[in-house]
Amino acid sequence: MRIIPTALQRTRDWARRWTDPSAGVLPASPGRVTAVVGVLAVLLAAVGCQPEQELELPAPSELEGLYGERTEVGLEGNVVDVEATQDPDQLRRGGSLWARVGPYIYAFSPQTQEIFQEWNGVAAVRVRTVTPDGTEIARAMLRRDELTSVTWREAKAHVVRARKEGTEKPGYLEDLVGYGEDHTQYEYSEQFVEQ
């Protein structure tokens, strides 16, 4: 009958082979150990010394019209600012729900994902929705590292459902608001959303 060694016995055997100079596996001379450690240090240093990638920011002209009509896009430091004018009819018909959902329509758009992919120096995209007279309704800021490729797909799917069917099924708007509140820094105007 053959006995299978336990994990502990295998570990002891491995340690004995690596520390026993007569086993011939690990060189016993301190000079060879120092050489191996030196080679490992050089390899680790080479990996850590990769040249830094230059951070790129978009030019204002590259941002113009990116989000379509009724938007103004600019750059403040390394944050892209999007100001979107929200239709007053949406606010009259949809009330606070439409006021809350506004920024997420733009924050989770393919345009925002493209900004993060094209310009590695952009740290965040901040979206402000305003009335035609410039009164702020809501704002949300999405950080570059907040979404993965999987969560980007989820976010864009929420936007598509909200845009296509949100009027008939307000639950889709609620879902988008919930998702947005989980993934952005947000603020709603007390004039449009009761706190």
Tens digit of each residue's pLDDT, the chain (195 residues): 445 556 556 655 655 665 565 555 555 556 655 655 666 566 556 556 666 778 999 999 999 999 999 999 999 999 999 999 999 888 888 889 999 999 999 999 999 999 999 999 999 999 999 999 999 999 999 999 999 999 999 999 999 999 999 888 999 999 999 999 999 999 999 999 987
pTM: 0.72
Give the domain ranges of the chain: 7-48, 60-188
pLDDT on residue 187 = 97
Q: Which residues contact 53 (CB under 8 A, 6 or more apart)?
A: 120
30 backbone dihedrals φ, ψ, rounded to 5°: -60, -30
127 token code pair? 């979206």
User: What CA–CA distances, in Å, run from 54 to 45, 47, 119, 123?
Assistant: 21, 18, 10, 14
Alpha-helix residue ranges (DSSP H) falling in the chain = 7-19, 30-48, 60-63, 88-107, 110-118, 149-165, 170-183
Q: Computed over its alpha carbons, how large is the radius of gyration of the chain? A: 28
pLDDT on residue 9 = 65
